[in-house]
Each structure stands twice: as C-alpha cells, then as structure tokens.
Structure 1
Amino acid sequence: MNFKFFDKLSQDFSELLNDKKEYNVVIEVDKEGNMKSFTAHSVVLRYRSSYFDKELENFPTDKNHIKTIIKPNISAPLFEIILKYIYGGIVDIEISDTKTVYELMINANKLEFKELSVKLESYLIESKASWLRTHFSLVYRSIFNSNEFKDLKNFYNNIIVKYPNLIFESEDFTSLQETALISILKRDDLKVEEIKIWDYVIKWGIAQNPTLPTDSKEWSKENFETLKITLKRCLPLIRYFHISGDDILEKVKPYKKILEKQLWGDIIQHSISPNKPITSLVLPARIISNQDFTSLQETALISILKRDDLKVEEIKIWDYVIKWGIAQNPTLPTDSKEWSKENFETLKITLKRCLPLIRYFHISGDDILEKVKPYKKILEKQLWGDIIQHSISPNKPITSLVLPARIISNRELSSRPISTPELPSRTISTPEFPSRTISTPEFPSRTISTPASRTISTPEFPSRVNGPFSIIINEEHVAELSSWIDRKSTTYSLSNIPYEFQLILRGSRDGFQPKTFWNMCHGHAGTIVVVKVAGTDEIVGGYNPMVWDNSASNANVKTNDSFIFSLKNGNIQNSIISRILKNSRALYYYSMKNIYGPAFGISEFMMKSNVSDFTQDELCRCEIDPIFGSHYEKPIRTSNKKFSILDYEVFKIIKK
C-alpha cells in the first residue's frame, strides 16, 4: 500500500515562493507602470516547464549568479496564478472572472503548460459556454491559428453551423481577424441567407476603415477602392448567383464599384436571363447542411451531385445522400442495424438515380468501413466488391465506372468559362490528366483501368470545358523553364518547346496543406514547383530532377541538376535562375510533413506552414541561411521577408 501526501507536499513547495534567500531566477512581468518582479528557483522551473527550461538556457547570469527573464506580455496577476501552479499544482479559478480564466488558458498554452491549458479549456466549454458565445471574436482570433484548442474549435464550429447569427450579430464581430472571417465564408453549411452574409461582409469591411464617410452615397472613387482592397479576399467567397434580383438591386448595387466589371455584368445578366452562360465562377449554394435539405426534389439533388466543384468531402456527400433517402421513407426504423432486407431495398430504390453519382473511389478506406459498409446492401455487388478491392489494392484494374474526383475548389477564382447552375454543362475538366487518372491524397497518381463492360448504369455526363494548363505560368514561362532544364544559353521558341508540363497538383484545387504536397507528389521525378507570392507579382519555384519521397525523414537529397528561380511577371521585368552550388543538400526532406513542403537547400526556396495552410501564416521563404550560407548560386528574391502564397502548382516534366 502507498501512502500519498500530495497536499502537504504542495503546501511545502508553495512556501518556497516566499524564500528570498535561495532563489536564483528573477522574472519581470507586465508592462511599464504595472511591472512586477517574482523570484523563483531554476531547478523548479526546469523540471516543471519545458518552456522555462529552454528560456533559462538562453539567459546569462549576473555577478550574483541570478538569471533575469522578462515577460512584458503577461500581466502580474496572471503570472502570480501561474507561479503558484508551478510550485503548488493548485489553481483556484472560483475567485477569478471568466475573462481572467480565458487569458490564463492562453498564457498557459504559450508557456507550454499543456495540463493546465487543457483543463481550463474544458472548464470554459463545460461551465462558461454562454460567455464563450458572447465573446466569439475575442476567443476565436486567439485560437484560430493555433494547433491547440481542438475542443474549443469544435465548440465554435458547431456555433458557426447552427447559430451563425450569434457571431454576425455579436458586438465584437467587426474585430474578427480576416483569416477567421474567410474560414467562415468558405463554409457551405452556413444557415444564413446569402444577402445577409453580403451585409455582414460589407459591415466588417467598413469597420476596418473608420475614416470612410458614414453614408456610402457620399463616397468618392477612392473610398470604394479602399473597401475593395480591404475585402479582396472575402468578395470572391460570396455566392452572388444565389441572391434574389430584388436584393441585388437594393443591397449589392450600391457597392457595385467594389466588384470587378465582369462579375457585376454577369450578376445582372444572370438576374435577367438565368439560363444564359456567364464567365464568372458560380459557387454552389449553401444548401447541403440546411435544415430543409431533405425536402429537396430528387432532380435538384441530382444536379448537385453531378457537380465536380462541390467543396465537400465525398464521405460527407454520401452521408447527406443517405440522410435524404431515409427522410423520404419515414417508416424506416431509426436504427439501420434493425433494418430488414426489404428496408434496404426501399432505400436502394429511392436512391437509384443518386447512388451512381457518388465518387466512391475517392473515399478513404476508414470511411468506407465506418460509413459506407453499414449500407452496402443498397449497392450493386460488383460495385461493393470493386470498392473493397480498390481500398486494398488501388493499382489493380476494376470493372465499375470510376468518376473523377471533385477537383474544382472555391479558391480557383480565375476567369474560367463556366455555365450557370441551371444549364446541364456543369463540369470543368483538367486537360492535363488522362480521363481515367485519379489523383487523391489517399491514393496519389493511381491509374485505374476501366474495361469496356461496365456494370453500373449512370446518367449521361455532359462534355467538359477545357481550361488553361496553368493559372500561374504561361507558355513563355514554359519555354524559359524548358531551356533551363536543358541548360540552353538561349530560350526555346514557343513552337519548339520539347517538354509537356503535366499538372500534378494545384493548391486552389487540391488544398494548401503540406501533407497534400507529399501525398500527391510522392513517386514523381522531374518536377517543377511554381508559387505565386501573395501580395506581389512574384512567381518563384524550383526544379527537382529526383523522385519526391514522402517516407524520407530529415534527409539530404544530392543532385547536380536542380535549380530555383523567379519568373518575369507584371512589374518584374527579368527572370532569375539559380543553379545548385553545393550538391550535398540540393533538397531537404523534413520529418514534419504536416508543416514543411518542398525545401531547396536550407531555405533558399522553402514552403512551410505551422497551421497546415501555405496561404495563411507567412512562413514560406527564399533566403540564404546566415550561418550555413547558400547551396545555390544566388538569391531569387530581393527581399528576405517571409511570405504566404496565393496559389501554387506542381508539374511533371514529360518529353514530347
């Protein structure tokens, strides 16, 4: 039997805080005027906190062997609570107001006291949900870019879906960070009328520019331009073509000057003649998760399922279809485990025109087993067998029809020709790939053979509209890059380019997560990465003649043929090529592939994101390491400033 005396141990350790003789650390906190000094003991700090263990390594001792740590961004009252926790393991939150508890959680996380941070997070969700709802912007902007606080993020995501007005109508809505607002606007499941979303976005944009006149009728051209620049990343996410004509005239028209002329023209044309093709990208309506989804007519549901540009995971589409089918048959038992053979047959008949439109071969194996298998009786035996076979052996030929992945995302806001939702021709092709090539994060670049005898009858799919081979580079860039690959002193003519640039990955289509790069480029050799730098005309990138290997970890890649570059574009008149100097580290494969993408040299061209999105946290860079120097001939940017990206593409270089 063990006797535990933790209470007395905690009490005795807490007494050390009053020891003014044996301390060897001074911690100064808070801003000038409120600054306060606390004494502590390095041995306690080191063993209780990995954060302070690292900090103490970096601070020198004075003549009295005392180390002084300065933390001006933590208030004295908060740090006193944290210090008592370090020594005694006790935090009394009953005497603290909710905002103090929230700030304590944030600071505990920064100081790497995960145990305390997680406990406070749970406390806020379980006991202070009302406060969290009314202080959405304050809390959300603190946790949005963090890799922690997953429960709080789930809490707020649930609010965004079910009670979005709590956010939009909150007093501090206009203090929401742009990135957080964008993440909300991207959602297909917002239960808010689109015109109200427009109103909220305009309200937010105006609030960021307090010098704008109160009455927009008095605005100058410069005033509208100011708002347009502020909202440049938000405006493309509005579903304009799902706003009524009356609301367009009453609410949108007064701000038409912040919209591109082509878009405004298409909005008016669509209001007058909705069946006439338009040029602007038509985003899908926010209908998938709406409460009235199950009341959709079958034809409307089918038209949605045919779309290649639904920004929804395929397994979620499956869930919605099952939900819709069950809702059409209210007599079915609530628990599908209790269903009879006749019950499954009823659902199968109800969904007979919808089931062929699911992209089964782009659903992960785990989701197949968890979500699809319980309803396998509504699928044809051949299809179910092929789904299982493909999950186990994705390279083995199958008989069932393999529909392409839904590859067009809301980020792809270029001027692609696209028809309105009412027209039958709803899909857009990517001409770079053969018709049967499926490229997904789970099964990178797998070619599925489809014999002539197909067992599934599907509706006739309309022909696809060809788009440009790239949304970043043009044919002149291809000629220049091809010349560099072949080490030519002059650039190939456009009619004499020896290579085809076959698209493997596009960020706006496939996602901006570092993991996506490794999943989709794994196994490909002879590739070029091109990146559009956010906020500039810059196009930078690198050529890797070697094979990308997502299993390599902390590994140097040796080659004499790689190079990095920047391309002429817009105001940038000249391209730059920088060839490898030290071939021992032409490229580097980091172990943390959820953070790092391609890395040429040390950081001469490197893509990185701590929030798993290259467009967000400005951690990509093209700079020479001050300690190790450059592995390439010269810098490809004039600035060492880190950056986010607007988009990026990876091409496989194929000899014609």
Structure 2
Amino acid sequence: MSDKFLPKLSENLLESLNDDQYNDIIIEVGNDPFVKIFRAHMVILSSRSPYLRRILSTINNDGALVNIKLPNILPEIFEIILRFIYGGRISLENYDTSDIIKILVAADELCLKELITYIQSFLIKKKSSWMEDNFNKIYRTSFKNESSFLELQKFCIDLIYKDPIKIFNSQSFPEIPEKLLLTLIQNDDDLQMSVSQIWEHVLNWGLSRNPELPSDPESFSKEDFKILKSTLQKCIPHIKFYNLNSKEFLEKVLPYKKVLPKELYNDLIKYFLDSQNNQSDKSKSYITKNISSKYIDSKIITTKHAELILSWINKSKSTPSSYRFKLLIRGSRDGFSPKKFHDICGRLSDTVSIIKVKYHNEILGGYNQISWESKSIVEVAKDNFIFSFKDNINNHILSRVKNEKHAISNWFLNGPSFGDGDLTLSGYHNYSDNSCKQSSYEKPIRETKEKFFVEEYEFPFNPGKTFLLNLLMSEIQGWEHGDFVQNPELPSNPTTFSKDDFKILKNLTTMYSFY
C-alpha cells in the first residue's frame, strides 16, 4: 500500500533538481570544448552514488558551493543518469543502443549498481541481435572491468562457445582482440566451418590489423610478410592445415607461405605431395584423427562430445576405428516411435544412440557394436557401453557392459535399449516409458531411477564397408530389410550371376552410394 507514494516522491525530487535555491554543488561534466555545468544536492548524490560519496568526503565544505569535475562522462549521458539518481526511473526504450552502452559505462564509473544490473538485463533481453552484430564493442566493454558487467560477460562467453559462427560473421569481427580470436580458433570444432574458411577469416583479421599492407600477396615485400607473420604468429599453430585438401592448400595457403614457420611449411609441402596422405583422414593438428567429418550433424552434441565418445569406442577395440557419425534418424524430424526406429535402423551395427532429456540439462546415450532387431531377444556384446553428460562435457559418466549376455534389449516396442533396464526407451506410438536403472552395466548413468521424457534423440552410425556388404548380401539373399527392395531371384553365389543379375546388383549399389 505504501508504494503508491513513491511516484510522487520521484516527481518531487526531480522538481528539486530544477530548483537552484538549495543547490550546493556544481558538477563540470565532459572535456573542452564540450563541457556542461550541472547543479545538484550533495546529500542526494552522496546517498545514491558511492563514487560521488568518496569524492565529496574529501572536500572541506566551508559553506561555499562545492565544485567537482567528471571529464570521462559525456554531458548528455550524465543528464540522463542525474535524472535517474533523483527520480529512480529510466526508460531505455527511448535511447539508441550505442547510447545505452555509454549510460552503462557511466553508471559503472559512478558505482550505480542497480542501474548496471538493470541495463545488462535490458540489453540481453531486448538487444541481443544488436550485440551479436556489434560483438567486439560488447566484448571489450564487458571485460573492461571484470567485476562489474558479469551478465554481459556471460552473454559473450555463451556466444563464443554456443554460437561462435555469429562472431565470425559479425560486422566487428576484424576488430576483435587477439585473445578472443585465439579462443575461437582453439574451439573450432563448434564453428561448423571448414579449415579453409577459418584460415580466410584469420588472414582477413591479420590484414585488417595492418591496413597499409597490399590486398594481393603477390605485391607483398619481404617486410610486408614479416609484419603479417608477426601479427598471426599466435594464431597459426591453431590452424588445422592438414585438414585442407591439396587445392585449398595451393590456392589459400601457398600464397602466404612466408608467414608460416619454416618447419611447418616444409612439413606441409611433404604432406600434400604425398598422395597417400591426401587419400586418408590423417590429421597432424589438434583435431581427433579418426573423425572424418568436419563437424557433427547433431542438435544435441558437439564435435568435442563426438571425439570423447569415439575415444571410448576405440578403447574397447584392439584396432581403432575411423568412425564417421552419419546421422540416420532424428526424433524431431523422423518421429519418436519404436516402429520408425526399427524401420530405419533395424539390422544396423556399430551405432551410437544420443538422447536429450526433457526438462533436464542431461544427455544420455550408448554404443552398440551389434545389430538392432525387433524380435524380443536379449543379445550378446562385449564392447558396448552407455554414458551420460550433465551440464557440461567434463561432467560425464561412462559405464561399460559387465553382463555381455544382456548387452542390449531387443523388442518391437523398444527403441535403442541397453541391458536389463540400464537405458531403456520404450512405448507404443512414442517413447513414453523411459528409464535408467543399473543392472547389466558397471554403474548407473543417472542419479535417479525415475522415468524421464525425451526432448530429442539422434542415431548416428558408421556406414563402413562391413555395413554395406551385409546390407547387399541381405538384399541378394532376399532377406527383409526395412523398406528396401528385395531380389530373391538373385543367386546366392555371385559366380553364377548372369549379365542381368549384375545389372540388378549394380542398381542396388547405386542406391547406397551416398554412404
């Protein structure tokens, strides 16, 4: 009830700001020639601003007007803040975003914590697109004083790690500090950009730092190359040049060979002249060597998750695999039903299941080395494991199979289900009966045995030669495989094939050429 008097109090205080009768302080704001004089009341300023209180406490007031200077604040910005100090209200919607940033910086200088908190919240809720386009300005502002703009810092960090491509595409990318660029290219697995594109962005950043350099490297002098090399010296070790193809290396890197360290350049020349290297997935950079795609087609995991899962797969095998995460099914795209799972993924082996838990920041999943079936049987597998991530990639649980005779649970009402209830997705039309309870695997992957809902699930697998051979043989022998065409008329022994039989088989292999 008492709050109803606050608007009138605010109004009265603003009126006193315009009344010179009781003013006892003069404030000179700005720098010559843009200086403006403001008159105010020490008691109000000192009670509202800790910064002004400290200044005023050092002044010996003998009854004369006190005079202070604020050269770092623009007069038009201080006028807005002064009205906030007196009236306790501000309408940020009335100002340009660039002016709001200036108000925020001035509020920080005056230690107006409530205004700082309010402005940060307003910018994040209302001006996120502008901040993405002007990321460098926001980044520099937020980290100028590391203890003040914590919410803006969090916004920047989240953008760096969750959607870094926006920073590369922002208008202010050429202006970003070196420290930020290094952070981005060190976490390039989340960029969903090719190495060639990353290298071009880094080059453009370096050239923008040295506008006196020619745009064409053929016009570079020896000194020009030295300047660019010095600018890019901390970035170059993080570029995964070995993931380029020969054409990209020839066109994008070779013209700038003098900015590369001599040892790196010689090694790259040897690498790209070796035809075997160009045909393999080998990488001498920081990227995990066995993941062949440049990024993972997933709405749930990042490439870093995929690298970790791959390391778990390889640890259980005597020979490491070159696993490729080929997406087969996505719940939001293909549906959340066991039938759809078996139609698309039945009879496939060497698969990974990835599940996003609804209402919780959890990712669940498992690796299955054998094939999935719709028959109600329990299968044997020795290399299977299940896993979970909670909140971040470092907070994970890996649980390997201990009862190999109960590695997976096949049933027509089950989706990908592991062990005797260790990780179960089940239901009739959708996954409505899902739970985790430790039984056939080493340890539980959730803290609770309660049922959970599925927000999203994905099913990547490794479409290697074994898969294709098994698939072809099942077609040749007329076995049912999802919706694929059967060819029972083909002999089981290819040595007895007629010319027409080979034509049929050729058409079939063409169907699967996308693998």
- TM-score with structure 1 setting the length: 0.47
8 Å CA contact 1:137–1:176 kept in 2: the answer is yes
Relative to structure 1, the CA distance from residue 259 to residue 295 in structure 2 (aligned partners, 3 Å threshold; closer, same or farther) is closer
Secondary structure at 1:100 match in 2? helix
Secondary structure at 2:215 match in 1? coil
Deviations 1:83-115 (A, max 9, x none): 110111011334322221232223323433222
Match of 2:443 in 1: 383
Relative to structure 1, the CA distance from residue 261 to residue 356 in structure 2 (aligned partners, 3 Å threshold; closer, same or farther) is farther
Deviations 1:537-580 (A, max 9, x none): xxxxxxxxxxxxxxxxxxxxxxxxxxxxxxxxxxxxxxxxxxxx
**Superposition pairs of residues 28-67 of structure 1, within 5 angstroms:** 28-57=28-57, 59-61=58-60, 65-67=64-66
Relative to structure 1, the CA distance from residue 222 to residue 280 in structure 2 (aligned partners, 3 Å threshold; closer, same or farther) is farther
Secondary structure at 2:68 match in 1? strand
Match of 1:128 in 2: 127
8 Å CA contact 1:326–1:347 kept in 2: the answer is no
Quick check: 1:71 aligned with 2:70?
yes
Match of 1:274 in 2: 277
Relative to structure 1, the CA distance from residue 167 to residue 3 in structure 2 (aligned partners, 3 Å threshold; closer, same or farther) is closer
What is the letter of the counterpart of residue 97 of structure 1? Answer: D
Match of 2:113 in 1: 114
- Structure with greater Cα Rg: 2
Counterparts of 1:345 and 1:166 in 2: how far apart (Å)? 32
Match of 1:242 in 2: 243
Secondary structure at 1:69 match in 2? strand
What is the letter of the counterpart of residue 106 of structure 1? Answer: V
Relative to structure 1, the CA distance from residue 39 to residue 232 in structure 2 (aligned partners, 3 Å threshold; closer, same or farther) is farther
Counterparts of 1:144 and 1:254 in 2: how far apart (Å)? 36
Counterparts of 1:49 and 1:154 in 2: how far apart (Å)? 26
Match of 1:186 in 2: 186
Relative to structure 1, the CA distance from residue 193 to residue 347 in structure 2 (aligned partners, 3 Å threshold; closer, same or farther) is same
8 Å CA contact 2:367–2:385 kept in 1: the answer is no
Relative to structure 1, the CA distance from residue 93 to residue 337 in structure 2 (aligned partners, 3 Å threshold; closer, same or farther) is closer
Counterparts of 1:295 and 1:324 in 2: how far apart (Å)? 17
Deviations 1:207-240 (A, max 9, x none): 1112112322111222111111112222222222
8 Å CA contact 1:302–1:353 kept in 2: the answer is no
Secondary structure at 1:78 match in 2? helix
RMSD of aligned residue pairs (Cα, Å): 4.7
- TM-score with structure 2 setting the length: 0.58
8 Å CA contact 1:46–1:53 kept in 2: the answer is yes
Give 1:206 deviation, angstroms: 0.9
What is the letter of the counterpart of residue 4 of structure 2? Answer: K
**Superposition pairs of residues 355-370 of structure 1, within 5 angstroms:** 355=385
Give 1:9 deviation, angstroms: 0.5
What is the letter of the counterpart of residue 214 of structure 2? Answer: P
8 Å CA contact 2:190–2:302 kept in 1: the answer is no
8 Å CA contact 1:189–1:290 kept in 2: the answer is no
Give 1:375 deviation, angstroms: 7.1
Match of 1:17 in 2: 17
Q: Which has the higher helix share?
A: 2
8 Å CA contact 1:305–1:357 kept in 2: the answer is no
Relative to structure 1, the CA distance from residue 380 to residue 279 in structure 2 (aligned partners, 3 Å threshold; closer, same or farther) is same
8 Å CA contact 2:24–2:42 kept in 1: the answer is yes
Match of 2:5 in 1: 5
Deviations 1:394-414 (A, max 9, x none): xxxxxxxxxxxxxxxxxxxxx
Give 1:189 deviation, angstroms: 0.8
What is the letter of the counterpart of residue 274 of structure 1? Answer: N
Percent identity of paired positions between Structure 1 and Structure 2: 31
Match of 1:168 in 2: 168
Deviations 1:423-449 (A, max 9, x none): xxxxxxxxxxxxxxxxxxxxxxxxxxx
Match of 2:344 in 1: none
Give 1:12 deviation, angstroms: 1.2
Relative to structure 1, the CA distance from residue 63 to residue 221 in structure 2 (aligned partners, 3 Å threshold; closer, same or farther) is farther
8 Å CA contact 1:28–1:35 kept in 2: the answer is yes
8 Å CA contact 1:174–1:203 kept in 2: the answer is yes
**Superposition pairs of residues 589-604 of structure 1, within 5 angstroms:** none
Counterparts of 1:214 and 1:363 in 2: how far apart (Å)? 41
Relative to structure 1, the CA distance from residue 175 to residue 279 in structure 2 (aligned partners, 3 Å threshold; closer, same or farther) is closer
Relative to structure 1, the CA distance from residue 194 to residue 345 in structure 2 (aligned partners, 3 Å threshold; closer, same or farther) is closer
8 Å CA contact 1:51–1:111 kept in 2: the answer is yes
Where do 5+ consecutive residues of structure 1 fail to align? Answer: 309-320, 389-656
8 Å CA contact 1:205–1:230 kept in 2: the answer is yes
Give 1:40 deviation, angstroms: 2.7
Relative to structure 1, the CA distance from residue 222 to residue 124 in structure 2 (aligned partners, 3 Å threshold; closer, same or farther) is same
Relative to structure 1, the CA distance from residue 23 to residue 307 in structure 2 (aligned partners, 3 Å threshold; closer, same or farther) is farther
Match of 1:101 in 2: 100
Secondary structure at 1:27 match in 2? strand
8 Å CA contact 2:104–2:116 kept in 1: the answer is yes
Counterparts of 1:182 and 1:277 in 2: how far apart (Å)? 25
Match of 2:27 in 1: 27
8 Å CA contact 1:213–1:219 kept in 2: the answer is yes
Give 1:80 deviation, angstroms: 0.6
8 Å CA contact 1:344–1:377 kept in 2: the answer is no
Equivalenced residues, count: 364
Give 1:281 deviation, angstroms: 5.1
Give 1:381 deviation, angstroms: 5.2
Give 1:251 deviation, angstroms: 0.4
What is the letter of the counterpart of residue 47 of structure 1? Answer: S
Secondary structure at 1:28 match in 2? strand
Counterparts of 2:165 and 2:281 in 1: how far apart (Å)? 34
Relative to structure 1, the CA distance from residue 135 to residue 243 in structure 2 (aligned partners, 3 Å threshold; closer, same or farther) is same
Relative to structure 1, the CA distance from residue 306 to residue 30 in structure 2 (aligned partners, 3 Å threshold; closer, same or farther) is farther
8 Å CA contact 1:14–1:87 kept in 2: the answer is yes
What is the letter of the counterpart of residue 75 of structure 2? Answer: A
8 Å CA contact 2:27–2:38 kept in 1: the answer is yes
Where do 5+ consecutive residues of structure 2 fail to align? Answer: 316-324, 342-354, 373-380, 398-421, 424-433, 448-515
Relative to structure 1, the CA distance from residue 282 to residue 95 in structure 2 (aligned partners, 3 Å threshold; closer, same or farther) is closer
Give 1:359 deviation, angstroms: 11
Counterparts of 1:39 and 1:295 in 2: how far apart (Å)? 57
Deviations 1:307-365 (A, max 9, x none): 99xxxxxxxxxxxx9x9998799646988689xxxx999979789747489999x9888
Counterparts of 1:234 and 1:295 in 2: how far apart (Å)? 23
8 Å CA contact 2:369–2:383 kept in 1: the answer is no
What is the letter of the counterpart of residue 49 of structure 1? Answer: S
Counterparts of 2:358 and 2:313 in 1: how far apart (Å)? 30
Match of 1:88 in 2: 87
Counterparts of 1:86 and 1:142 in 2: how far apart (Å)? 23
Counterparts of 1:363 and 1:136 in 2: how far apart (Å)? 26
Relative to structure 1, the CA distance from residue 32 to residue 171 in structure 2 (aligned partners, 3 Å threshold; closer, same or farther) is same
Give 1:139 deviation, angstroms: 1.9
